[in-house]
Each structure stands twice: as structure tokens, then as C-alpha cells.
Structure 1
Amino acid sequence: MEVNVKLFGDLREGRFEEKTTQLEENSRVIDVIKKHNLPLEDVAICMVNSHQAEFGQILLNHDTVAFSPPVGGM
């Protein structure tokens, strides 16, 4: 299956902003994180189709998965 992956903030450094990736059927959000070698501790926000998601959520063909690092500062 095919999913669109978007990275925000520091997660983009040395990687990509947005790309389409191939996954096995019944893949989960955590599988996308592993496939793209994202440090788990750097993924603070995870969205699937603009809705907050857990790492164990099963993905469907053509889903959009977005990852963001912790955001902070004053």
C-alpha cells in the first residue's frame, strides 16, 4: 500500500519534507517511523489524516501520516 509521509520541524533535517512511501498491508504508524529511521523520542506529535494518532494505529492505503518533534519555547 502507499501512504504519504510529512515531516515537520527538526525531523526534516537531513531527510525530506513530504514523500510517498510503500508499506505492507496492515502496517502501523510505528512502521513508518522505523522505515524512515526517525528517533522515537523525537516524535512528539503524530497525525493520520489530520487526526491525532497513536503509534499502533493501523494505516490504510493513501493515508497521510505527519510527524512533528516537541514544540516549545517562550
Structure 2
Amino acid sequence: MEIGVRLFAGFRKDRFRESTMAWEAGMTPRSIAKHLWIPAEEVGIIFVNGRHADPDVPLMAGDILSLFPVVGGG
């Protein structure tokens, strides 16, 4: 199934900004991040189709997954 993946900020380094990729059924934001070598503790915000989502929600064909890193500041 095809899922759009959008990466933000530091996640783009040596990866991509946006890509539509073929994935196995049952993939989750957590499993896609792992496949992209993004550690779970570095993921701060997850959107699926523009709405906040849980890292373990099953994704459906045609979904758009957006991953944002943890933001630090002071």
C-alpha cells in the first residue's frame, strides 16, 4: 500500500522532505520511523492526514504521515 511520508527539520538530513512509498499492510508511524532509522525517542509530533496521531495507529493506503522531531529550547 502507498503512504505519503513527510519529514520535518533534522529528519530531512540525508533522507527526503516528502515521498510516497510502498509499505506493507499494518505499518504504523513507529514502524515507518524505525525503517527510516529515526529513533522513537526523537519523534516529538506525529500527524496522520493532518491530525495528531498515536505512534501505534495502523496506517491505511493513501494516508499522509508527518513526523516532527522533539524541539528543545530554553
1:1-36, CA deviations, whole angstroms, 9 ceiling, x for partnerless residues?
Answer: 010000001111111101111111122111211111
SS of the residue corresponding to residue 44 of structure 1 reads strand
* Counterpart contact for 1:28–1:59, Cα < 8 Å: yes
| Unpaired segments ≥5 residues, structure 1 | none
| Unpaired segments ≥5 residues, structure 2 | none
Bigger strand share: 2
1:37 aligned residue:
37
* Number of residues of Structure 1 aligned to a counterpart in Structure 2: 74
Give the letter aligned to residue 11 of structure 1: F
1:52 counterpart = 2:32? no
Give the letter aligned to residue 44 of structure 2: A
1:19 aligned residue:
19
| Aligned CA-pair RMSD | 1.2
Kindly report structure 1 stretches of 4+ aligned residues shifted beyond 6 Å.
none
1:31-56, CA deviations, whole angstroms, 9 ceiling, x for partnerless residues?
Answer: 21111111212110010000001111
Q: What is the rounded CA distance, in whole Å, between the counterparts of 1:29 and 1:69 in structure 2?
A: 13
Give me the TM-score of the superposition, normalised by structure 1.
Answer: 0.90
Q: Identity over the aligned pairs, expressed in percent?
A: 34
Matches within 5 A, 1:53-68: 53-68=53-68
